[in-house]
Amino acid sequence: MLFSTEQHRLLEEKAFTVRQHIIRMATGGGCFIGASLSAADLLVYLYSGFLHIDKSSLDHEDRDYLFLSKGHDVPALYGTLAEAGIINRERLQNHLSIDDHIYWHPNTRVSGIEFHSGSLGHLPSVAIGVAMDIKIRQGNNRVICILGDGELNEGTCWEAMLVAQAYKLDNLVFVVDRNQFQANVATEELIPLEPLTDKFAAFGAAVQRINGHDFAAIDKAFSACTPQGKPHVIIADTVRGKGLPSIESRADRWFCNFSGEEIDQLLAELDGSRPALLTSETLVVR
């Protein structure tokens, strides 16, 4: 798509607002705040022009598809859908309410949610099925499936890669939110994943690795996902808890349930980190 510099700035502003939404959902029962903050920039980019989908085309056969396989990141998706006008912002206040379906994991009763998820490793196969159907129909729809890095310990993810390569599903993009953590432990301390780029390439994918918080890099990577006769993989290096220095890259800040006072403090902290968030930073991969 290749946005202009000014458009990148607008994306940064929108991502800042989505992070505010995520923080506000981390109370009254809590949410998976760390992983949601790491994925916010990716989701904001996708729903700000890359994906051919909006409130009026949610059920249109020519729409693009997004599957959030790492379903615990759904606060980031809820916030993005609200900023995209697909759901009302007021509904975010109903998080965990018995009167709504805004919950810890994606629910198809919420507009814009394509498929429910929660158990990891399932949606790559769902995304493949949709991508294959599009190929059979000779459609131009694109399919995006966002996975967690810890989720890659599920064998179904690699089986899906084999199938995607076998059927040359170049309308399919797997995006790995590489925030270096699986639940409350670092991935490389549990079951090391690296070298991820080489592993995906060995499975026949066209692989790119980027800074997942740099909108220029994100834009360039997705714009390069053109038909090449093989599935695409974007490994997005991110920071768990991005935007809140007090919880960034902390194993114990996986799921959090803060008090109202703590939420106010975190929102103030986010505002204090605003200058750093509104610049394209170089991410050091650990």
Fill in the amino acid letter for 71: G
Q: What is the pLDDT of residue 206?
A: 98
Domain count, the chain: 1
Residue 66, strand partner residues: 144
Q: Which residue has 């502003």 as its token pair?
A: 13
Question: Which DSSP helix (H) or strand (E) runs through 189?
Answer: helix 187-190
Q: What is the pLDDT of residue 103?
A: 87
Cα separations in angstroms, 192 against 134, 181, 189, 196: 35, 11, 6, 10
Question: Which DSSP helix (H) or strand (E) runs through 160?
Answer: helix 155-166
Per residue of the chain (286 residues), give pLDDT as tens.
677 778 888 999 999 999 999 999 999 999 999 999 999 999 999 999 899 998 888 889 899 999 999 999 999 999 999 999 999 999 899 898 888 888 889 998 888 899 988 789 899 999 999 999 999 999 999 999 999 999 999 999 999 999 999 999 999 999 999 999 998 899 999 999 999 999 999 999 999 999 999 999 999 999 999 999 999 999 999 999 999 999 999 888 889 999 999 999 999 999 998 767 765 544 433 3
Residue 181 token pair: 């953590």
Cis status, amide bond into 275, omega within 30 of 0: no
Residue 251 covered by a domain: yes
Residue 250 covered by a domain: yes
Task: Indicate yes or no: pTM above 0.85.
Answer: yes
Residue 283 covered by a domain: no
Residue 285 covered by a domain: no
CATH number of the domain at 54, please: 3.40.50.970
Residue 20 covered by a domain: yes
- How many Cα atoms sit within 13 Å of 10 on the Cβ side? 9
Report which of 273, 228, 212 is spatially closest to residue 46, judged by C-alpha positions: 212
CA angle 85, 238, 81 (to 5 degrees): 10
Residue 143 covered by a domain: yes
| Residue numbers of the domain that contains 237 | 5-277
Q: How far is CA 210 from the centre of its chain?
A: 14
- Residue 55 phi, psi (nearest 5): -60, -35
Residue 102 covered by a domain: yes
Q: What is the pLDDT of residue 204?
A: 96
What whole-number distance in Å separates Cα of residue 260 and Cα of residue 263? 5
Residue 282 covered by a domain: no
What whole-number distance in Å separates Cα of residue 221 and Cα of residue 141? 18
What whole-number distance in Å separates Cα of residue 110 and Cα of residue 131? 22
Asked whether 80 and 18 are in contact (CB, 8 A), the reply is: yes
